[in-house]
């Protein structure tokens, strides 16, 4: 399977970067191919401009799309699976990744409306999508405060399943704010396993 990985972290010294390395090593060991879209290194522009905003509000699938959005669509077109690797900041993904969804998850590509105005997802050919998240807090803390439930609802239900992707999962590599070496190793092993078993 070919997987397009959308990666969002500004530092290659981060745990998230190390997790990306283990995840891709697992993919390679399983015989998958992959491409990484590093949003910070790409200097991806996360803000809708007025023309793209109007295209979305008018549900105008025929209106032109910016070149960088077309480039992301081309990467998705080559993929059978999607993965999103990012840190959890204030209960969600970094702003650059949220902006990627705002711009790339656009009308006429991810969804359309039928004649009755019903939402029709268009990305069902993607077999699987995974969100692999590094989190500072222990997952138990975030679970108890409803943060993980919110993350699942937003990322898995609203962003991924609503696009028609049939199998989605969110995996949290938690407790990384003051992680000891043993926890770091366990989380990196989990990142590798997620790649190997994708």
Average pLDDT of span 4-23? 97
pLDDT at 29: 98
| Whether pLDDT at 78 is above 90 | yes
Look at the chain and report how many structural domains it folds into.
1
Judge whether residue 54 has pLDDT over 90: yes
Query: What percent of the chain is predicted at pLDDT more than 90?
Result: 89
**What does the pLDDT read at residue 186?**
95
Q: Any idea what the CATH number is for the domain that residue 159 is in?
A: 3.40.50.360
Look at residue 144 in the predicted model and tell me its pLDDT.
80
Closest CA to 123 of 85, 158, 76: 76
- Phi/psi of residue 47, nearest 5 degrees: -100, 130
Contact 120, 114 (CB under 8 A): yes
Q: What pLDDT was estimated at residue 140?
A: 81
Mean residue pLDDT of the chain comes to 95
**Average pLDDT rounded to a whole number, residues 27-35:** 98
Half-sphere exposure of 133 (CA within 13 A, CB side): 28
The domain in which residue 132 lies consists of: 2-196
Q: Which residues pair with 35 in a beta bridge?
A: 4
Over residues 141-168, mean pLDDT: 91
């Amino acid at each position: 399977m070919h997987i397009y990985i959308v990666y969002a972290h500004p530092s290659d010294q981060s745990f998230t970067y190390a997790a990306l390395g283990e995840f891709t090593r697992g993919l390679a060991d399983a015989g998958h191919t992959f491409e990484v879209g590093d949003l910070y290194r790409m200097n991806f522009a996360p803000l809708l401009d007025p023309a793209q905003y109007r295209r979305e509000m008018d549900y105008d699938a025929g209106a032109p799309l910016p070149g960088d959005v077309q480039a992301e669509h081309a990467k998705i077109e080559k993929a059978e699976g999607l993965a999103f690797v990012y840190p959890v900041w204030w209960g969600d993904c970094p702003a650059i990744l949220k902006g990627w969804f705002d711009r790339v998850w656009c009308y006429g590509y991810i969804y359309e409306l039928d004649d009755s105005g019903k939402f029709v997802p268009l990305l069902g050919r993607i077999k699987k999508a995974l969100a692999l998240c590094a989190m500072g807090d222990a997952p138990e803390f975030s679970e108890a405060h409803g943060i993980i439930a919110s993350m699942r609802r937003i990322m898995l239900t609203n962003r991924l399943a609503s696009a028609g992707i049939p199998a989605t999962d969110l995996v949290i590599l938690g407790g990384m704010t003051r992680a000891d070496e043993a926890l770091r190793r366990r989380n990196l092993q989990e990142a590798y396993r997620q790649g190997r078993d994708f």
